[in-house]
């Protein structure tokens, strides 16, 4: 399963090589051209019928993670977060450090030695460290260097009623959809772009958009889902199993209304469930893409993912399939020059 390989690959922002190699090996036989640009984005072109409009579909390759910043005298490894991580989810988790994926753990003080009020306060990143079992600084330095990246050690698992748990569903789910699109859509020209460093400030998207200069762009994402019981419905950004989420607004883009309406019509016509993403929090590559050069019209279509930016994020296979179905229909409308 491609999504398994993608989510288990290592690709912290700025260190996407592992994911990039995997993606290229998947798509190279299905595109007319591809290149890795000067900052690491993959820009691939697939030729089909010319619709007169330049379409770009993008997904970012990177994930949130950790970067090693110091090794102390006893061989414990200090780190800093890369991208938005709730520091509270790091405690008591296994991680994989460096290229060779060396196992380590982030421990915590035994409960027995804590004062009761300690437990009400979150631990700071500076209080946390990775233990790889080294007996000394020298031993640790044989395996780990400052600047190495670490990822969550979390396998891909299918569970419950058609759900998937994995790390980095944000945004390997987008990568997976885009790869599938490349493989299955043959009758329309589009640029498929896999960007770097979205999680640390939409770094890759700007240059990629500059290079491609699209008229339309569709951004594929794994997005926030927080469908808890007893929460007011306007506070629930998306639901699991209610179909692809269409973005209205986020911190980087106010999405084009007409493009969105058209997508909604296509969904309804084809009986594909969809939902709107009901929060203005977060942002994505669209922010850079729609403002590059003379600008472009963008839409973000996302698969809802519970617990994103944690080692165990969760999405639904149904949502994935419906998102893909919707994408495919939207692209086919481009072919008919109806967008």
Partner 1 sequence: METKVFLELLSNGKGISGYEYPLQSTIISAFEEHLDDVSVDKLGNVIGVKKGTYKDKENNIKIMLAAHMDEIGLMVKDIEENGFIRFTNIGGIDPRTILGQEVIVHGVEDLFGVIGSKPPHLQDASEQNKAIKMEDMTIDIGYPKEKVEELVSIGDPITIRRNVKDLLGKRIAGKALDDRAGVAALYECMKELEKIHHEADIYFVTTVQEEVSMAGALVSSYSINPDIGIAIDVGFGATPELPKSSTIELGKGPGITLGGNIHPNLRKKLVSIAKEYNIPNQVEISPGPTGTDARAMQITRDGIPSLLLSIPLRYMHTSVELLDMDDICNTGKLLAFFIASISNENLEGLLCY
Q: Interface with partner 1 by CB under 8 A: which residues? A: 72, 74, 76, 84-89, 91-94, 102-114, 119-123, 127, 129, 131-135, 139, 143, 153-154, 157, 159-163, 165, 224-230, 237, 279, 281-282, 306-312, 314
Full DSSP string of 187-216: SB-EEEEEES--TTTSTTHHHHHHHH--SE
Q: How far is the CB of 108 from partner 1 (least distance, A)?
A: 5
Q: How far is the CB of 250 from partner 1 (least distance, A)?
A: 9
Q: DSSP state, 114?
A: S
Give the active site residue among 16, 63, 198, 221: 198
Closest by CA position to 44, among listed 220, 183, 200, 215: 183
Per the CB < 8 A criterion, the answer to whether 123 and 108 are in contact is yes
Closest by CA position to 310, among listed 173, 105, 171, 167: 167
Q: How far is the CB of 40 from partner 1 (least distance, A)?
A: 25
Nearer to partner 1, 195 or 310 (CB): 310
Nearer to partner 1, 25 or 114 (CB): 114
Query: Does the annotation count 74 as an active-site position?
Result: no
CA distance 93 to 112: 19
Nearer to partner 1, 21 or 72 (CB): 72
CA distance 92 to 114: 16
Q: Exposure pattern of 71-83 as b/e (b: 16+ CB <10 Å)? A: beeebbbbbebbb
Nearer to partner 1, 91 or 325 (CB): 91
Torsion of CA 132, 133, 135, 137, to 10 degrees: 0
Q: How far is the CB of 92 from partner 1 (least distance, A)?
A: 4
And the tokens for 59?
């997904």
And the tokens for 57?
């579909």
CA distance 189 to 46: 5
Q: How far is the CB of 155 from partner 1 (least distance, A)?
A: 9
Which parts of 213-310 fold into alpha helices (H)?
A: 257-269, 286-289
Q: How far is the CB of 52 from partner 1 (least distance, A)?
A: 37
Nearer to partner 1, 1 or 21 (CB): 1
Instruction: Give the contacts of 108 (CB within 8 A, at least 6 positions apart).
Output: 91, 92, 123
Nearer to partner 1, 127 or 337 (CB): 127
Is the bond preceding 171 in cis, omega lying within 30 degrees of 0? Answer: yes
Closest by CA position to 31, among listed 195, 218, 206, 178: 178
Residues identified as active-site: 198
């Amino acid at each position: 399963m491609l999504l398994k390989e993608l989510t288990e690959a290592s690709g912290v922002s700025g260190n996407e090589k592992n994911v990039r190699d995997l993606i290229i090996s998947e798509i190279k036989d299905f595109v007319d051209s591809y290149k890795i640009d000067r900052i690491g984005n993959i820009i691939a072109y697939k030729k089909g019928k010319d619709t007169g409009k330049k379409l770009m579909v993008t997904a970012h390759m990177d994930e949130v993670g950790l970067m090693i910043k110091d090794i102390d005298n006893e061989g414990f490894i200090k780190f800093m977060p890369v991208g938005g991580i709730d520091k509270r989810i790091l405690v008591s988790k296994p991680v994989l450090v460096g290229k060779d994926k060396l196992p380590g753990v982030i421990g915590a003080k035994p409960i027995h030695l804590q004062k009761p009020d300690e437990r009400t306060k979150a631990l700071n990143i500076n209080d946390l460290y990775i233990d790889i079992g080294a007996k000394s600084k020298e031993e640790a330095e044989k395996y780990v260097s400052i600047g190495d990246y670490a990822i969550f050690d979390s396998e891909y698992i299918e569970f419950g009623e058609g759900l998937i748990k994995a790390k980095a569903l944000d945004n390997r789910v987008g990568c997976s959809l885009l790869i599938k699109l490349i493989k299955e859509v043959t009758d329309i020209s589009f640029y498929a772009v896999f960007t770097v460093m979205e999680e640390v400030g939409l770094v890759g998207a700007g240059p990629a958009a500059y290079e491609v200069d699209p008229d339309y762009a569709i951004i594929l994402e794994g997005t926030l889902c927080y469908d808890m019981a007893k929460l007011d419905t306007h506070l629930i950004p998306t639901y699991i199993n209610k179909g692809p989420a269409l973005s209205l607004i986020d911190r980087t883009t106010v999405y084009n209304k007409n493009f969105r309406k058209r997508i909604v019509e296509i969904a309804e016509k084809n009986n594909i469930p969809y939902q709107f993403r009901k929060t203005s929090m977060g942002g994505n590559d669209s922010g850079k893409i729609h403002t590059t050069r003379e600008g472009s019209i963008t839409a973000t279509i996302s698969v809802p993912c519970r617990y994103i930016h944690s080692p165990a994020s969760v999405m639904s296979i149904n949502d994935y399939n419906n998102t893909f179905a919707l994408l495919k229909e939207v692209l086919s409308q481009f072919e008919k020059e109806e967008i």
